[in-house]
Amino acid sequence: MSKIQSEKDILKDIVNGKYRDCYLVYNRKSTDEADNQKNSISYQRTENTDFAKRNKIKLAPVTLTGFCTNGVVSEKHSGFKEDDELYISNGMVQYRIDRPKFQQLLQHLSRGYFKGIVCLCWDRISRNKGDDTIIRKLMRNGIDVRFVYANYDKSSAGELHMDIDSMFSQHHSRVTSEKVTLSTKNSRQKGKCTYRAPIGYLNEGNIDHKPFDPVRAPIIKEMFELYATGDWSLADLARHAVAQGFTTVPMRRRRSKAEILADDSEEVEVIEKTSRPVTENHISRILTSRFYTGRTKGPDGIYIESTSHEALVSDEVFNQVQANLNKKKVSVHYTEKLDHPLRGVVRCAHCERVYTPYTKKGILYFNARCLKGCTNTMKNCNFDYLAGEIKGLVESLYFTDNELAQLEARASTDISLLEEKRHKSLNVVERKKKKIRENMAYLRSNRLSLLQSGVYTPETFMDEEQKLETDLKQLKTDEEVSDVAMRELMKDVVTLSELLKNVVPVYDFANPHEKERIVKVIFSELFIAQDTLVYKVKKGFDAFDDRMSAICEEILTLARTYFEQN
């Protein structure tokens, strides 16, 4: 309890500006340069702290769990990869920063809690353009960023020096990525196993040779042969394997968030490798893997002949196992879907998989089985979370009193300008009407002579007469457009805004199914992107989404169309 309290005090001191004259040290170990000396956290820590002492830079004596130790921030993460998500709203551009400690560091710096940071060199702090932009903005706003290996003058030459270092750091990561990708592709084309071989084979760090596991391989081969007879079930095989001492390959458990964020200097418990008894799911994955027939995944994901390992079972046995598995496949179809609110309404913003509702311990949850490779991290959420996010969206749609006043002022100004143009256009319209009436009178009085001379056939004569009548009706319609019609349209928009405003208190007290009906009236699509709810409103509400400038344009579009076409 004392540790929690002390960290609260530290955060309070940070917010109160106690360390505004202090610096933080940032160390980053790249995930793609394990052998590079400057990639070592300990090396960076030594170089950065020595640099701070030589230059009499005061480091903040701050220690926060999962962030920094004595003013030193260290993390193991790629500086090249960046999130592809981009959110643009009301002139603001947002994107997600993948490095958790770097993200927290930028938040502290942007709020002025610290004077600056000390870093080894440019490629330790960033290797992508998105993070580059943020660092440069902070530097322009007065944040002092010191580099041990470089000194950038506050001049055009210094800016050029910084641009070159930034460009080469990004280029180095791109070249490394291309080399790894090309090497993996070439190896797979040659039939080499570039990934971890499944249970039954040994992974010794050599993609050219994946030998049999002398303990597990014979048992797996026996399981294939037994299931091929058709007399064994998956449960029977699982019990049989466990009785023979068959276990999974020893693996370390997944690290907790605290362990992932832990600094190298912190004492972290060594995670021991453990084995687990096999289950029916393990047996199912084994029996359906073509790897055991001597094949490996090629560059396109299709299995090809392997040069890294030998077949454990023959194609005949494997095909018979697949036939027996297909016979026992049973698809479950619900005769009646449960009536859960928001079913089929919310989707993943990346792969567009739907969030399916389910109940657990009386709470309604939503789960998305996203496609492989989907970057969305929020796979689960509950109904209360969605309802709260949707309420915030509805509250942001209707106009405030200030916006309504601006809308009225702008609309009145634009209407006055359009009215002057309208009076000028009415004279043109009147002349066009007069010309059309004269043409119609000429046609009707000279109908017989025009037909006899061959100028018109009976069909073309009727078409021409009909065209003139249509043009005359259109011109009469144009005359009816006025500022009164435009003001009526604006009144409808304001009324709809008031209705949206009144929906919010109703939404608070509505039950889940009533909330669903409100959602379906306003929104056409709802998507979850990480921890943000992205939406599209239905036709008629889009003006509220685009706010002031789009609203006025929509109100006056009708008038501009009529006036400018003449």
Q: Got the DSSP string for 43-94?
A: HHHHHHHHHHHHTTPPBP---BTTTBBTTEEEEE--SS------EEETTEEE
User: For residues 74 and 117, is the Cβ–Cβ distance under 8 A?
Assistant: no
pLDDT tens digit string along 82-103? 665 655 666 666 666 778 888 8
Average pLDDT, the chain: 79
**Structure confidence at residue 418 (pLDDT):** 52
Give the CATH class of 2-173. alpha beta
Taking the C-alpha atoms of residue 358 and residue 355, their distance in angstroms, rounded to an integer, is 10
Assign 275 to helix, strand or coil.
coil
Domain boundaries, the chain: 2-173, 217-327
User: For residues 383 and 512, is the Cβ–Cβ distance under 8 A?
Assistant: yes
Taking the C-alpha atoms of residue 493 and residue 560, their distance in angstroms, rounded to an integer, is 18
- Distances in whole angstroms, Cα of residue 54 to Cα of each of 37, 150, 482: 22, 15, 76
pLDDT tens digit string along 311-335? 999 999 999 999 998 887 665 555 6
pTM of the model: 0.52
Structure tokens, 432: 């066009």
Residue type, 7: E
Give the mean pLDDT of 222-241: 91
User: For residues 203 and 196, is the Cβ–Cβ distance under 8 A?
Assistant: yes
Q: Which long-range contacts (CB under 8 A, 24 or more apart) does 217-224 make?
A: 217/312, 219/244, 219/246, 220/286, 220/292, 220/312, 221/312, 221/313, 223/283, 223/286, 223/287, 224/287, 224/292, 224/312, 224/313, 224/317, 224/318, 224/321
Taking the C-alpha atoms of residue 564 and residue 331, their distance in angstroms, rounded to an integer, is 62
pLDDT tens digit string along 496-517? 667 767 777 888 888 888 888 8
User: For residues 275 and 253, is the Cβ–Cβ distance under 8 A?
Assistant: no
Structure tokens, 392: 């915030």
**Structure confidence at residue 322 (pLDDT):** 92
- Distances in whole angstroms, Cα of residue 478 to Cα of each of 306, 488, 523, 561, 564: 76, 17, 34, 10, 11
User: For residues 347 and 359, is the Cβ–Cβ distance under 8 A?
Assistant: no
Contacts of 519 (CB under 8 A, 6+ apart): 342, 345, 390, 526
| pLDDT surpasses 50 at 483 | no
φ/ψ (deg, to 5) at 262: -65, 140
Assign 365 to helix, strand or coil.
strand
Taking the C-alpha atoms of residue 499 and residue 518, their distance in angstroms, rounded to an integer, is 12
One of 3.40.1350, 2.60.40, 1.10.150, 3.90.1750 is the CATH number of 217-327, namely 3.90.1750
Of 116-120, 147-151, 405-409, minimum mean pLDDT range: 405-409
**Structure confidence at residue 181 (pLDDT):** 86
Which band of pLDDT confidence, cut at 50, 70 and 90, is reported for residue 152?
A: confident
> DSSP class of residue 396?
T
Taking the C-alpha atoms of residue 285 and residue 200, their distance in angstroms, rounded to an integer, is 12
| pLDDT surpasses 60 at 552 | no
| pLDDT surpasses 80 at 370 | yes
* β-pairing verdict for 116-119 and 144-147: parallel
